Amino acid sequence: MSHQTDYRRGRHCVFNLHVHLVFVTKYRRGVLSHEHIRFLTGVFADVCARFDAHLLECDGEDDYVHLLVTYPPKVAVSTLVNSLKGASARQLRNRYTVRTHRNHLWSPSYFAASCGGAPLDRIRGYVENQRTPR
């Protein structure tokens, strides 16, 4: 599946971990525009960098976003998700006027799937094509 160059190295490990994440807005309210998603992509990338993770793809629709992230084994996915959702909601609210429910942008739940079995190009293409042309 992966070439040796795809593996990342830590101090005591070699790894190639990817997670597909989906966050939905509170009550699936359609509050995200294309501009918001572009802004959130930068926020998500910054948060990932703080965890020594990399945001590979990000896209979505009015009421959800998909992310494809590669991350080191020292990072708990739940901790990464909490930081991604918290920072993105806070920074989006500070930059734009977004109609949320009681200042909650995201639903408290999320979807996370390991991407070890599926070809990453297929997942990348799926995430890239979330927003339909308008």
Can you tell me the distance from the alpha carbon of 5 to that of 94, in angstroms, rounded to the nearest whole number? 39
Number of folded domains that form the chain: 1
Can you tell me the distance from the alpha carbon of 110 to that of 24, in angstroms, rounded to the nearest whole number? 7
Residue 115 has a pLDDT of 80
Handedness of CA 101, 103, 106, 107 (dihedral sign): negative
Per-residue pLDDT tens, the chain, 134 aa: give them.
444 467 888 888 898 899 999 999 999 889 999 999 999 999 999 999 999 999 999 999 999 999 999 999 999 999 999 999 999 999 999 999 887 767 789 999 999 999 866 677 888 888 888 876 65
Residue 92 has a pLDDT of 94
E strands, 16-92, in order? 18-24, 54-61, 64-70
Could you tell me if residue 133 is inside a domain? no
Could you tell me if residue 134 is inside a domain? no
Residue 133 has a pLDDT of 63
* Residues in Cβ contact with 102 at an 8 Å cutoff, skipping those fewer than 6 apart: none
CB 31 within 8 A of CB 99: yes
Residue 102: CB atoms within 10 A of its CB come to: 5
> Phi/psi at 36 (nearest 5 deg)?
-60, -45
* Closest-CA residue to 23 (of 123, 107, 90): 107
Residue 118 has a pLDDT of 64
Could you tell me if residue 35 is inside a domain? yes
CATH of the domain at 52: 3.30.70.1290
Could you tell me if residue 86 is inside a domain? yes
Q: Which residue's structure tokens are 């040796």?
A: 4
**102: containing domain:** 4-128
E strands, the chain, in order? 8-9, 14-15, 18-24, 54-61, 64-70, 111-114
